C-alpha cells in the first residue's frame, strides 16, 4: 500500500462517503487510489466549486465535508472556500497535493506554500513529511474539524509521500464523539440571578446553536420562559421563523422589532453568537442598557467584543436546560410583540413588476419545511433572510462571515448529493451566479435535481444600493445590463429554464420550480432600483434604521396608497 491508498483507507474509516474535487499532477496518486474505494468522488468544474460543495454537505448535515485539489493553483483556488468555512465555523477537511518533498522551497512547477498561505484561515493545517504519519494526521484533522468550535483543516500531501510504500494502517474505528464541557456551576448560578432580576430580557441566538446541536434546547428555553428572540443571519431557523416570539433578524438589515427590542432590553442572552459588526452596528451603542449573558463553546469569543456580565462556556444544551425558567415579563413581551405587528413587512405592492420580497415570502409558504435554501451574496441574500420563514438553521445555507459571492450554487450541489430526495434551492443573483456558473455542468453530470431561483436586476444590486445611499448615487462598475441570456445558458447545460418578469407569473412559476422533476432554473427579472429595507447605515447604531417603507415608498416597492419615492441619501458615511 502506498501513502495515497492509506489516505483513502483513512477517509473510509472516518465514514467519508463522498468527496468533491478536481485532479492535477501532484494529487494524481490520490485520484488513482480513489478508483479502488467506495468513496464517491464528484468532479466539480473549479476547485472553488469543490470546497463550497463540501461546505454545503457539512452545513446541511453537520458532518465533516471533504474536498481535494492539486498543488499550486488547485490549492489556491480553494482559499476562498476555506476562509469562508473558517468565518462561519464549518467543519471541512481540504486535502491538497504538494510537489515532492525534495522540491519544496525550490519554486517548482505548481509549488505554493499551502501551509503558509492557509495559516490564518484554518483551525489547523498539516504538511505530511512521513508516510507513516498519515493515519494520525487524518484522525487528528477530522477530530479538530468537528469538535469544539468547528472549522476547516488542511492536509498538504507531497507527491513522494503519497507514493511511498507503507505498512501503517488506519486508526481503528471512527473518531469518538466528545461532549463539550459542562457549564461552570458558579457561573450558572450567576446567570440564574441575571434571569431572575431581568424585566426586559431578549435572546440573541446565532449559528453556534445549530452547531452545538442545541436547537431543541433553545426552543424549550424560549418557549418555557416566553422570551422575545432575535437571530443572527446564521441563527435563522433556530427558533422557527413563524414562532410568535421570534422578532426577526437583528442588525444591518434586521427588522425594526428585533433592533428595538435589543436596544431596549435589560438582559441580552447571547447564545452561540460572536457580536459580529453586521449584527451589532455601532458596538458602543449596542444593547446599551443591558447586562449580557454570553454562552458559547469558544472561550475566545467571550469578551472579544463585549464584556459579558456572566459568561458560560461549554455545552449549550446543558446551560439552556439549567437556566429554563418562567420570568414575569408579560408587559415587556407585549411591547415586543406590538412592535413586531407595528413594523411587520408589507407585501401589498400593486405593480406588475415582480417584488422580490413577496416572491420569497410566497416561496416560503409554498415550499415544505424540509426545503434547503442555499443563498448567494447580495440583496437577494438579505431578502431571503428577511422574508423566508426558516424552520431549522440547517435548512438555510448562506455565506455570512466572509460573504462569498458564488457560494450558493456549489453549496446546493453539496446538499443535494448528500440528500438526493430533498428539495434544494439555490437563490441567487445575476452577479453571484456568474461566479460559479460552470457548476451547472456538475448538476447535469450527476443528475442532481437542484432548483435555481435567479433574481436578476441587471446590476450588482447591493453595491448599487450603497452607491445610491452613501456615494451620492455615483454608480461605479455595477451595471450588468449586458448579462447573457441565462435561460439559454441553462439549457446549454441540459437544464430546463423559465423566465418571468411580471408579478402575476410568480405563483405558477414557483409551482413549476418546486414540482418539475429534476433541475430547473427560474429566471425572475426584478426592478433594478429595488433596495433592501430596513438598513442601518455603517457606523450607526441599530436604532438609526433607514426604513423609507415606513413613510414613503419607492415606485418599485410602493404598497397601495403609499406616497411617492423618497430615498434617504446620507453623505460622508462609508463602509
Binding site for another protein (CB under 8 A): 115-116, 119-120, 123-125, 127, 129, 144, 283-284, 298-300, 302-307
**Number of neighbouring beta carbons within 10 Å of residue 23:** 18
Q: How far apart are the two ends of the chain, measured CA to CA in Å? A: 55
Cell matching residue 466: 450603497
How many Cα atoms are found within 13 Å in the side-chain-facing hemisphere of 384? 30
Q: Does residue 47 carry a catalytic annotation?
A: yes
CB 6 → another protein: shortest distance, Å? Answer: 20
Query: 229: which residues sit within 8 A by CB, 6+ positions away?
Result: 202, 203, 204, 205, 222, 239, 243, 245, 246, 247
CB 78 → another protein: shortest distance, Å? Answer: 18
Which lies closer to another protein via its Cβ, residue 284 or residue 476?
Answer: 284
CB 307 → another protein: shortest distance, Å? Answer: 5
Whether the CB-CB separation of 410 and 44 falls below 8 Å is answered with yes
How many Cα atoms are found within 13 Å in the side-chain-facing hemisphere of 567? 20
**DSSP β-bridge partners for residue 94:** 67, 154
Q: Does residue 111 carry a catalytic annotation?
A: no
How many Cα atoms are found within 13 Å in the side-chain-facing hemisphere of 524? 31
CB 58 → another protein: shortest distance, Å? Answer: 19
Which lies closer to another protein via its Cβ, residue 115 or residue 529?
Answer: 115
CB 127 → another protein: shortest distance, Å? Answer: 6
Q: How far is CA 124 from CA 94, 113, 284, in A?
A: 11, 15, 33
CB 540 → another protein: shortest distance, Å? Answer: 18
The residue annotated as part of the active site, out of 1, 12, 17, 110, is 110
Which lies closer to another protein via its Cβ, residue 136 or residue 552?
Answer: 136
Which lies closer to another protein via its Cβ, residue 305 or residue 447?
Answer: 305
Which lies closer to another protein via its Cβ, residue 61 or residue 309?
Answer: 309
DSSP 65-107: EEEEE-STHHHHTTHHHHHHHHHTT--EEEEEEE--GGGTTTT
Q: How far is CA 359 from CA 149, 384, 457, in A?
A: 36, 10, 14
Q: Does residue 159 carry a catalytic annotation?
A: yes
Closest CA to 433 of 408, 416, 413, 414: 408
**DSSP β-bridge partners for residue 500:** 524
Which lies closer to another protein via its Cβ, residue 308 or residue 408?
Answer: 308
CA distance 297 to 281: 24
Query: 61: which residues sit within 8 A by CB, 6+ positions away?
Result: 394, 418, 419
Whether the CB-CB separation of 135 and 167 falls below 8 Å is answered with no
Which lies closer to another protein via its Cβ, residue 287 or residue 448?
Answer: 287
CB 186 → another protein: shortest distance, Å? Answer: 18
Question: Where does 348-482 show beta strands of DSSP type E?
Answer: 372-375, 396-397, 424-429, 451-456
The residue annotated as part of the active site, out of 159, 211, 340, 451, is 159
CB 309 → another protein: shortest distance, Å? Answer: 11
The residue annotated as part of the active site, out of 405, 462, 520, 545, is 462
Which lies closer to another protein via its Cβ, residue 273 or residue 462?
Answer: 273
Cite the active site residues.
47, 109-110, 159, 462
Amino acid at each position: 500500500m502506498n501513502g495515497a491508498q492509506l489516505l483513502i483507507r483513512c477517509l473510509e474509516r472516518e465514514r467519508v462517503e463522498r468527496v468533491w474535487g478536481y485532479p492535477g499532477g501532484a494529487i494524481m496518486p490520490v485520484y488513482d487510489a480513489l478508483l479502488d474505494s467506495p468513496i464517491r468522488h464528484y468532479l466539480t468544474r473549479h476547485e472553488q466549486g469543490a470546497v463550497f460543495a463540501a461546505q454545503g454537505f457539512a452545513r446541511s448535515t453537520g458532518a465533516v465535508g471533504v474536498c481535494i485539489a492539486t498543488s499550486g493553483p488547485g490549492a489556491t483556488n480553494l482559499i476562498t472556500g476555506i476562509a469562508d468555512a473558517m468565518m462561519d465555523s464549518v467543519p471541512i477537511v481540504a486535502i491538497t497535493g504538494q510537489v515532492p518533498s525534495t522540491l519544496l522551497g525550490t519554486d517548482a512547477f505548481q509549488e505554493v506554500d499551502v501551509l503558509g498561505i492557509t495559516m490564518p484561515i484554518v483551525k489547523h493545517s498539516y504538511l505530511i513529511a512521513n508516510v507513516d504519519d498519515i493515519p494520525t494526521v487524518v484522525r487528528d484533522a477530522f477530530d479538530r474539524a468537528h469538535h469544539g468550535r468547528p472549522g476547516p483543516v488542511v492536509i498538504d500531501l507531497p507527491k513522494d509521500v503519497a507514493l511511498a510504500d507503507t505498512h501503517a494502517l488506519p486508526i481503528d474505528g471512527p473518531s469518538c464523539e466528545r461532549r463539550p464541557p459542562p457549564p461552570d456551576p458558579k457561573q450558572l448560578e450567576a446567570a440564574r440571578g441575571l434571569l431572575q432580576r431581568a424585566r426586559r430580557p431578549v435572546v440573541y441566538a446565532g449559528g453556534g446553536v445549530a452547531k452545538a446541536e442545541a436547537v431543541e434546547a433553545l426552543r424549550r428555553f424560549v418557549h418555557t420562559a416566553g422570551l422575545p428572540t432575535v437571530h443572527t443571519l446564521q441563527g435563522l431557523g433556530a427558533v422557527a421563523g413563524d414562532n410568535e416570539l421570534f422578532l426577526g433578524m437583528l442588525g444591518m438589515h434586521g427588522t425594526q422589532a428585533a433592533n428595538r427590542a435589543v436596544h431596549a432590553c435589560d438582559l441580552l442572552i447571547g447564545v452561540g453568537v460572536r457580536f459580529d459588526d453586521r449584527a451589532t452596528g455601532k458596538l458602543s451603542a449596542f444593547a446599551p442598557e443591558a447586562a449580557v449573558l454570553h454562552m458559547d463553546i469558544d472561550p475566545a469569543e467571550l469578551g472579544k467584543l463585549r464584556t459579558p456580565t456572566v459568561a458560560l462556556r461549554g455545552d449549550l444544551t446543558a446551560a439552556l436546560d439549567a437556566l429554563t425558567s418562567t420570568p414575569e415579563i408579560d408587559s415587556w413581551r407585549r411591547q415586543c410583540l406590538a412592535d413586531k405587528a407595528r413594523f411587520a413587512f408589507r407585501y401589498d405592492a400593486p405593480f406588475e413588476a415582480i417584488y422580490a420580497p413577496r416572491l420569497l415570502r410566497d416561496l416560503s409558504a409554498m415550499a415544505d419545511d424540509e426545503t434547503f435554501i442555499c443563498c448567494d451574496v447580495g440583496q437577494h441574500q438579505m431578502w431571503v433572510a428577511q422574508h423566508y420563514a426558516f424552520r431549522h438553521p440547517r435548512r438555510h445555507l448562506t455565506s455570512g462571515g466572509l460573504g462569498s459571492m458564488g457560494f450558493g450554487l456549489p453549496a446546493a450541489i453539496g446538499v443535494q448529493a448528500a440528500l438526493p430526495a430533498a428539495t434544494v434551492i439555490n437563490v441567487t443573483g445575476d452577479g453571484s451566479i456568474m461566479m460559479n456558473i460552470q457548476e451547472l455542468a456538475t448538476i447535469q453530470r450527476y443528475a442532481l435535481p437542484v432548483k435555481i431561483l435567479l433574481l436578476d436586476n441587471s446590476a450588482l444590486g447591493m453595491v448599487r444600493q450603497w452607491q445610491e445611499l452613501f456615494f451620492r448615487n455615483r454608480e461605479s462598475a455595477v451595471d450588468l445590463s449586458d448579462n447573457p441570456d441565462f435561460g439559454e445558458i441553462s439549457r446549454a447545460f441540459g437544464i430546463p429554464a423559465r423566465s418571468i418578469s411580471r408579478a402575476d407569473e410568480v405563483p405558477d412559476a414557483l409551482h413549476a420550480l418546486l414540482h418539475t422533476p429534476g433541475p430547473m432554473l427560474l429566471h425572475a427579472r426584478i426592478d433594478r432600483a429595488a433596495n433592501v429595507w430596513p438598513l442601518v447605515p455603517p457606523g450607526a447604531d441599530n436604532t438609526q434604521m433607514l426604513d423609507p417603507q415606513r413613510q414613503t415608498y419607492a415606485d418599485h416597492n410602493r404598497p397601495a396608497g403609499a406616497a411617492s419615492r423618497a430615498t434617504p441619501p446620507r453623505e460622508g458615511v462609508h463602509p
